[in-house]
Amino acid sequence: MRLILAVILLVITTSFGQPKELQKEERCPICGMSVSPKDKLLSQLKLRDGSYKFFESPKHALKFYFLNQDKVLEIWVKDYSTGKWIDGKLAYYVIIEDGPMGPDLAPFSTKLSATKFAKKEKVYSFKDLTKELIEKLDIHTH
């Protein structure tokens, strides 16, 4: 019985709430751009079917999210200052002009670090982000 409980606990702790490391180069499902593990703005979505989608930036991950909210289970982004994976729904975002494809969002794990980076720019929580804001940032046509 203890073995069964240990296996169930292991499955639960490794199946939920964890980003997946990108093992090989992939293509962004929004723009087709190459996505590499070295990308500073690397982002990913875990879908309800257990698969993952990788994106070169939070902007495109969120664009996919707003188009497919019913299919997305988790959002993971890399903290712009530390490079560590953070929960995209708990992150704070600052608009930057030099993303891989123009304006984008730099994610931070704390409001304080986002505010320090932003200086006078607005800091957005996940709840502040809208499909319309993401569309405005996505100046390139795909």
Long-range contacts of 117-121 (CB under 8 A, 24+ apart): 117/80, 117/81, 118/94, 121/94, 121/95
Q: What is the pLDDT of residue 41?
A: 97
| Prediction pTM value | 0.85
Tens of pLDDT along 38-92? 899 999 999 999 999 999 999 999 999 999 999 999 999 999 999 999 999 999 9
pLDDT at position 11 over 70? no
* Amino acid found at 61: A
Q: Phi/psi zone of residue 43: left (φ > 0), alpha (ψ -120 to 50 degrees), beta?
A: beta
Main-chain dihedrals φ then ψ at residue 30, nearest 5 degrees:
-90, -50
Q: What is the pLDDT of residue 10?
A: 44
